[in-house]
Structure 1
């Protein structure tokens, strides 16, 4: 009888024995993403754990003995500035001496936990005809373009992705858990191709700390501005936000401008322009737009285009700098729309010709691609755009770009609303690059 009473006692405790959650594995890698450090035959693998572990990547050429090479890196502790002061460890490992054109498989982590297996193709300065997806303003809620991007990435259509500001909406929310979830979501694309970024206004909280800590771009500016080379293109990523968040340091605005000037001067040296004739910029807030929302780009004296006169000294804008250094193509987001502009400078159209406006244009070409999908939905257009507005769409989607060769760049807008239909496309054809091309 005593044994029976003991059994009943244990059964009465059974609900108490099973209500606790299983232990969380804080050492398991997650949020895996790649970036190109600008060094030929190399790749940076970045991921997150919530306890301190080693930082290892095991990898091998596709078809070879699995994981027969390894590289070690390090982790930095990131403490989010929210009320909980959540801690996470951001791991970075650089893979070197990779063979361009080959495909590699890899996983990352440590003996305390490994990620899933992913694959990638290395980039190189000499990569021919690189292909990109371009977009900004992608969030956790309503990330409409993500599934199509995942398929294109994993089937090898893309060489890299350019995310032109505004992530997650917003990474700092819920003590940075929203940022964690966003990085988990984009792992389905960012673990397979370099995910190259620039900051947007939605990253500004806590002095852009979630952006600066989570991404691993080239250079020494905590991913705020940098440049890199691929094939026949020199790509410059910049922060438009230095014009708007002066409370985080007005000196950043001038530091970036001086860096941009030096970088453009270097890119315009005869030997540089001969090797990489295309100069392409990416920044979040555009110089021009025809959206009906009173943003900076809807005003003639746009900060990005014309600068600020309320700083000491006055802060120069970017339009003249880019024009004088022969920037060919300027990529923007922020507006939750797609807009293609005719070649424009000083608020005026400078088409190559009436028949072929993008053949030997006499000013830079601007593309706004901020409709990837987020909780703020799409924007509305001004019903009376200026003459420089060539094509507009409020469809969700993203832009394809292929730098085909020294003279041709293709751009096509993919509508996710229309099942992947290319709703707009152009070829930019340039027989001459640099400032002299405008003359």
Structure 2
């Protein structure tokens, strides 16, 4: 909880500007039967006891009242922009059940929101690099969400462009902008390079991920999926030290070992990892895509230790999701620049290496990441610079389906594929010496 002195100091600021709340967004807690409601406020009275009321939808039950905690967030910019961020955890939620909830603050009418706990075979919407300006896909994402298409969203890094801009007022505007999505489905995230300012403070404070504010990596089980979120940025911003990179590497290996225990892989046969910067890309981008060895793939320069690709292969990660490039790209099953399709006719049936996609084309002020059409490497199966986003559906323990929505083409599906595993989820075979280049 925030100290009384902080409340008094912040009250002066609240008198000097419009006191408002919102920026309401959801995330999963320690498991998917817990949902955390996060919101911001400048009202010093209301945050004395952050409160959410909720009940099952379509019932005559009374609303249950749940209390949470608030923390004071001070942006690192020159104006030291201040706000309280409140977190309220709803627990013991029933599976596949619709709930109504609202946050009610002083001198404000309540606004009801709703969410549904996930189904056994969940549906996701996946995208990265969504900005406050030029948020091309947002209207379509809102429409999809409000129609009940998704159980959760995965935002794969880079928010607002940038949340710290204009003394964090861009971050406030962005969080309000995504509320029609993020207040209705859990909005699960990972950090990108555009969150770096002030040691990722806007990202750490605004979002409530299972790892907590001090740990930028986590995992959770969603139906028959085991989803892992990592920070690729620990490899690139070593000015903050390398401890977090080393800790993440060993945490990830431990998490993957646990996920591969027979009893766990039986319940969650699909392992999905998401991180911002891709291990492979073919965009016309010398810094990211024309070097043979990305740090996240092979490890830190010269020493090539703590590279993550061998872990993905060794522990049978099924799908790796990236963003950063403002485009969409699907790869053939790949490891160490070798393609390992299931077969010539059905490359994603029993693939013999992880499948990678890059989906960073939601729309931002930096525009698109073009491809060099004179060069199309053999490991790239499909690519597009259209604005859009990815839909994912788990049908059962052997079939998952992905499709790419083009906002440029009025919601047309420009790419789709199935990944099929017939009782073969698990570590991939060792075809060759897997030492990294």
TM-score (norm 1): 0.91
C-alpha distance in 2 between matches for 1:209 and 1:67: 38
1:289 aligns to what SS in structure 2? coil
Relative to 1, partners in 2 of residues 1:50 and 1:324: Cα closer, same or farther, differing over 3 Å? same
State the Cα deviation string for residues 121-143 of structure 1 (Å, max 9, x = none): 123xxx32200110000001000
Q: Tell me the CA shift for residue 382 of structure 1.
A: 2.4
Between 34-43 and 61-70, report the one with greater CA deviation: 61-70
Runs of 4+ in 1 over 4 A off after TM superposition: 22-25, 436-439
Relative to 1, partners in 2 of residues 1:136 and 1:186: Cα closer, same or farther, differing over 3 Å? same
C-alpha distance in 2 between matches for 1:298 and 1:86: 39
2:312 aligns to what SS in structure 1? helix
State whether structure 2 residue 349 is matched by structure 1 residue 354. no
Contact kept? 1:398, 1:414, Cα under 8 Å? yes
Aligned position for 1:422: 413
C-alpha distance in 2 between matches for 1:380 and 1:46: 36
Match of 1:317 among 294, 303, 307: 307
C-alpha distance in 1 between matches for 2:255 and 2:331: 25
State whether structure 2 residue 247 is matched by structure 1 residue 255. yes
Aligned-residue RMSD, C-alpha = 1.6
Alignment of 1:178-193 (within 5 A): 178-193=170-185
Where structure 2 has 5 or more consecutive residues not aligned to the other structure, the ranges are 1-14, 432-437
State whether structure 2 residue 401 is matched by structure 1 residue 410. yes
Between 285-294 and 44-53, report the one with greater CA deviation: 44-53
Q: Tell me the CA shift for residue 51 of structure 1.
A: 3.3
Alignment of 1:386-397 (within 5 A): 386-397=377-388
Aligned position for 1:277: 269
C-alpha distance in 1 between matches for 2:147 and 2:314: 40
State whether structure 2 residue 322 is matched by structure 1 residue 327. no
State whether structure 2 residue 198 is matched by structure 1 residue 176. no
Where structure 1 has 5 or more consecutive residues not aligned to the other structure, the ranges are 1-21
Q: Tell me the CA shift for residue 321 of structure 1.
A: 1.1
C-alpha distance in 2 between matches for 1:98 and 1:112: 30
C-alpha distance in 1 between matches for 2:384 and 2:200: 30
State the Cα deviation string for residues 348-403 of structure 1 (Å, max 9, x = none): 11110000000001110000000000000001112212110000101000000011
State whether structure 2 residue 25 is matched by structure 1 residue 33. yes
TM-score (norm 2): 0.91
Count how many residue pairs are aligned between Structure 1 and Structure 2.
412
Alignment of 1:94-173 (within 5 A): 94-113=89-108, 115-123=110-118, 127-173=119-165
Q: Tell me the CA shift for residue 295 of structure 1.
A: 3.0
Between 106-115 and 287-296, report the one with greater CA deviation: 106-115
1:379 aligns to what SS in structure 2? coil
State whether structure 2 residue 64 is matched by structure 1 residue 74. no
State whether structure 2 residue 330 is matched by structure 1 residue 340. yes
Choose 1 or 2 for highest CA Rg: 1
Q: Tell me the CA shift for residue 82 of structure 1.
A: 0.2
Contact kept? 2:332, 2:341, Cα under 8 Å? yes
Q: Tell me the CA shift for residue 220 of structure 1.
A: 3.7
1:165 aligns to what SS in structure 2? coil
Relative to 1, partners in 2 of residues 1:436 and 1:308: Cα closer, same or farther, differing over 3 Å? closer
Aligned position for 1:43: 35
C-alpha distance in 2 between matches for 1:97 and 1:24: 39
2:168 aligns to what SS in structure 1? helix
Relative to 1, partners in 2 of residues 1:378 and 1:40: Cα closer, same or farther, differing over 3 Å? closer
Contact kept? 1:415, 1:422, Cα under 8 Å? yes
Aligned position for 1:83: 78
